[in-house]
């Protein structure tokens, strides 16, 4: 296991207990600690999104549907069927689903633009869409594949692909607790 801060090694990166994650399935996530960087890192499995519920593939499928249908409201209806209940046991309204899908579409577009900027030689001709990246990477699991491609930089990459601070309204919000960082905190 390589330290994401020190891929060259030598920093004493080691296992540091576990934390529990409840969604989309109960999981124990291994926590690692880098003494040199005084940073803990949660080893989230490749298929899980970081900081939000669900898998990367769930997010990708929802956004791919939106790209296909072209309307947030129409595709919200398609990706989360009526009758589904939310955390508070209230039926999920079309409005709520539309906002849910809108957030995911925004995350994915931002992520794909950032990746294209990071690897201009790979993605210079790609549009920041799932369809375009699927064609470029020849895969139906773009986000999982990108997590592998960007594995050295995930600490600095915003969620749900990476484990970095969230970017909101163009500003990076910092963790209140500088010592422990919030990178590995479950949602
Ligand atoms: Zn390290």
pLDDT in tens, 140-174: 999 989 888 887 777 777 777 877 655 444 443 33
Q: Report how far residue 119's alpha carbon sits from residue 59's, in angstroms, rounded to the nearest whole number.
A: 22
Ligand 1 centroid to 16 CA: how many Å? 13
Distance 103 CA to ligand 1 centre (A): 32
How far, in Å, from the CA of 32 to the mean position of ligand 1? 10
- Cα separations in angstroms, 159 against 12, 15, 136, 140, 165: 26, 23, 22, 20, 7
Over residues 61-84, the pLDDT tens digits come to 999 999 999 999 889 888 875 566
Going from the Cα of 156 to the center of ligand 1, the distance in angstroms, rounded, reads 14
Task: Share the mean pLDDT of the chain.
Answer: 77
From ligand 1's centre to the CA of 137, what distance in Å? 30
CB 150 within 8 A of CB 160: no
Tokens describing residue 80: 């989360």
Q: How far is the CA of 161 from the CAs of 8, 67, 94, 165, in angstroms?
A: 23, 19, 26, 11
Separation of CA 133 and ligand 1 centre (Å):
31
- Per residue in 86-107, pLDDT (tens digit) is 666 566 778 888 888 898 899 8
Dist. CA 5–CA 77, nearest whole Å: 41
Distance 107 CA to ligand 1 centre (A): 28
Asked if 66 contacts 75 with a C-beta cutoff of 8 angstroms, the reply is: yes
Report the predicted TM-score, pTM, of the whole model to 2 decimal places: 0.67
CA of 31 relative to ligand 1 center, distance in Å:
13
SS3 helix, strand, coil % of the chain, rounded to 5? 40, 15, 45
Q: Among candidates 169, 171, 151, 170, which has minimal Cα distance to 161?
A: 151
């Amino acid at each position: 296991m390589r330290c994401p801060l020190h891929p060259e090694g030598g920093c004493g990166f080691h296992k540091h207990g576990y934390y529990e994650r409840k969604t989309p399935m109960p999981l124990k996530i291994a926590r690692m600690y880098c003494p040199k960087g005084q940073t803990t890192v949660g080893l989230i499995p490749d298929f899980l999104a970081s900081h939000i519920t669900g898998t990367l593939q769930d997010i990708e499928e929802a956004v791919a549907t939106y790209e296909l249908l072209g309307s947030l409201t129409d595709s919200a209806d398609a990706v989360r069927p009526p009758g589904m209940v939310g955390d508070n046991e209230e039926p999920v309204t079309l409005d709520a689903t539309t906002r849910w899908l809108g957030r995911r579409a925004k995350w994915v577009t931002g992520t794909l633009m950032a990746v294209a900027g990071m690897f201009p030689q790979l993605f210079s001709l790609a549009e920041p869409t799932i369809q375009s990246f699927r064609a470029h990477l020849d895969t139906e699991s773009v986000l999982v594949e990108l997590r592998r491609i960007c594995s050295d930089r995930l600490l600095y990459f915003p969620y749900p692909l990476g484990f970095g601070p969230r970017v909101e309204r163009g500003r990076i919000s910092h963790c209140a607790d500088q010592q422990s960082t919030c990178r590995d905190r479950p949602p």
